Amino acid sequence: MIDLAARFAEQLEQVWPAGEDPGSRLGLAVSGGPDSLALLLLAHAIIPGRFEVATIDHGLRRESTDECAMVERVCAERGIPCEVLKVIVPQGNVQAKARNARYHALGRWAERQYLTAIATAHHADDQAETLLMRLNRGSGVAGLAGVRATGVTSLTPLPVVRPLLTFRRAELAEVVAASGLVAVQDPSNADDRFDRARIRKELAHCDWLDPIALAESAAHLADADAALTFYANTTWRKGVQVTDDEVVVPILSLREIALRVVGRAIGHFGGDPRGQDLARLVARLEAGEGGNVAGVLATVEGGHWVFRREPARRTG
């Protein structure tokens, strides 16, 4: 535990520079699972009194209320401020909608409590699983990019820090076991209906695969994604004409830049296309053809790609 705590202190110092200020406080997202419980215990060992905990009740499982109560109890026993945040998850892609609701709630909570960042318990095995899962789906650079040790998201105004990215899942389980606590076990983690659960089982038996190295590759891809996004933003700022009625984009020869710029053009009109649909539209535009995605019509006019709202369909 001492070695793990020292490693945690080193990683936390790197991802949370605001922590140099003794008055700065950190927010921890804790579900009660083994990973986030380990995050709580390590933070309590290294920065006692300088963090608060939030636990999310998504209302998606009957056990969620009891799990939040367990987190509250663990915090109360250690004198750690804890708040249960109840969220409503809209219909649709449940995992994605739950994630968005969770980060929105965490952001509001952290601002209200005057915290300087939100810490989550993502670790090396998470990164490796995500990379393999998305490779198997044929994802592009953006999809393959791992989460960053420090990052920002449109879902919360505060930075999100991940001080456990160099830790293995088994190491975090050791931290929890040493404390005598019993972590919550999410049944979906062992449900073969989910890609991540199947990959997790396979990865556990592949001793020739190194999750730490895979996580490093995911981090390199995140750097590449950031560079491509910067270039795409520069292209948008300098070369794209935007009005309320249309977006005019110069024909782009680099596919990764085109995907980002076209996605932003569609988003200008409120569209949110799936990755595959966006890729198909870009391919059609590159071939000199038009198309429509997410309520947006795209045409090729001269040396430009032009995007407008799709005309309302006539009825009757």
Tens-place pLDDT, residues 220-231: 999 999 999 999
Q: Are residues 155 and 252 in the same domain?
A: no
What is the C-alpha separation between 280 and 267, in angstroms, rounded? 16
Q: Are residues 40 and 116 in the same domain?
A: yes
Residue 51 main-chain phi, psi, to 5 deg: -150, 160
Domains in the chain, number = 2
- 291-293 vs 156-161, strand pairing mode: unpaired
Q: Are residues 116 and 77 in the same domain?
A: yes
User: Would you state the pLDDT for residue 279?
Assistant: 92
User: Would you state the pLDDT for residue 2?
Assistant: 66
16 within a domain of the structure (yes/no): yes
Q: Are residues 54 and 201 in the same domain?
A: yes
User: Would you state the pLDDT for residue 305?
Assistant: 97
C-alpha angle 102-105-111 in degrees, rounded to nearest 5: 135
Sign of CA dihedral 223, 224, 226, 230: positive
13 within a domain of the structure (yes/no): yes
What is the C-alpha separation between 67 and 98, in angstroms, rounded? 16
User: Would you state the pLDDT for residue 87?
Assistant: 80
Residue 142: CB atoms within 10 Å = 18
Q: Which amino acid, 250?
A: P
Looking from the CA of 117 toward its CB, the CA atoms found within 13 Å total: 23
Flag whether pLDDT at 282 surpasses 90: yes
Which range among 41-50, 51-60, 85-94 shows the weakest confidence by mean pLDDT? 85-94
What is the C-alpha separation between 24 and 27, in angstroms, rounded? 10
Q: Which of 230, 264, 265 is nearest to 246 (CA)?
A: 265
281 within a domain of the structure (yes/no): yes
Position with higher pLDDT, 207 vs 132: 132
For residue 33 the two structure tokens come to: 């699972």
Q: Are residues 254 and 209 in the same domain?
A: no
End position of a domain, from candidates 174, 202, 217 = 217
Which pLDDT band, with edges at 50, 70 and 90, does 311 fall under?
A: confident
User: Would you state the pLDDT for residue 315?
Assistant: 59
Q: What is the CATH classification number for the domain harbouring 145?
A: 3.40.50.620
Average pLDDT along the chain: 90
**Region of residue 86 (left: phi > 0; alpha: psi -120 to 50; beta: else):** beta
End position of a domain, from candidates 155, 183, 217 = 217
Q: Which of 217, 253, 218, 221 is nearest to 235 (CA)?
A: 253
Looking from the CA of 235 toward its CB, the CA atoms found within 13 Å total: 22
User: Would you state the pLDDT for residue 237?
Assistant: 96
Domain that holds residue 28: 2-217
What is the C-alpha separation between 127 and 211, in angstroms, rounded? 8
Q: Are residues 302 and 256 in the same domain?
A: yes
Which pLDDT band, with edges at 50, 70 and 90, does 157 fall under?
A: confident
Mean predicted confidence (pLDDT) in 265-278: 91
Helix orientation angle between 124-135 and 211-239, rounded to the nearest 10 degrees? 70
User: Would you state the pLDDT for residue 314?
Assistant: 63
What is the C-alpha separation between 14 and 150, in angstroms, rounded? 9
Position with higher pLDDT, 57 vs 241: 241
Position with higher pLDDT, 245 vs 276: 245
Mean predicted confidence (pLDDT) in 30-45: 96
Q: Are residues 126 and 267 in the same domain?
A: no
Q: Are residues 130 and 246 in the same domain?
A: no
Which pLDDT band, with edges at 50, 70 and 90, does 92 fall under?
A: low
Q: Are residues 246 and 202 in the same domain?
A: no
What is the C-alpha separation between 301 and 290, in angstroms, rounded? 10
249 within a domain of the structure (yes/no): yes
224 within a domain of the structure (yes/no): no
93 within a domain of the structure (yes/no): yes
Which pLDDT band, with edges at 50, 70 and 90, does 123 fall under?
A: very high
Position with higher pLDDT, 124 vs 196: 124
Q: CA torsion 198→199→205→206, rounded to 10°?
A: 160
Mean predicted confidence (pLDDT) in 20-37: 94
Q: Are residues 153 and 195 in the same domain?
A: yes
Q: Are residues 101 and 196 in the same domain?
A: yes
Each residue of 163-205: pLDDT tens digit? Answer: 999 999 999 999 999 999 999 887 777 777 778 888 888 888 8
User: Would you state the pLDDT for residue 145?
Assistant: 87
End position of a domain, from candidates 152, 186, 217 = 217
Which pLDDT band, with edges at 50, 70 and 90, does 235 fall under?
A: very high
223 within a domain of the structure (yes/no): no
User: Would you state the pLDDT for residue 149?
Assistant: 87
Q: Are residues 210 and 282 in the same domain?
A: no
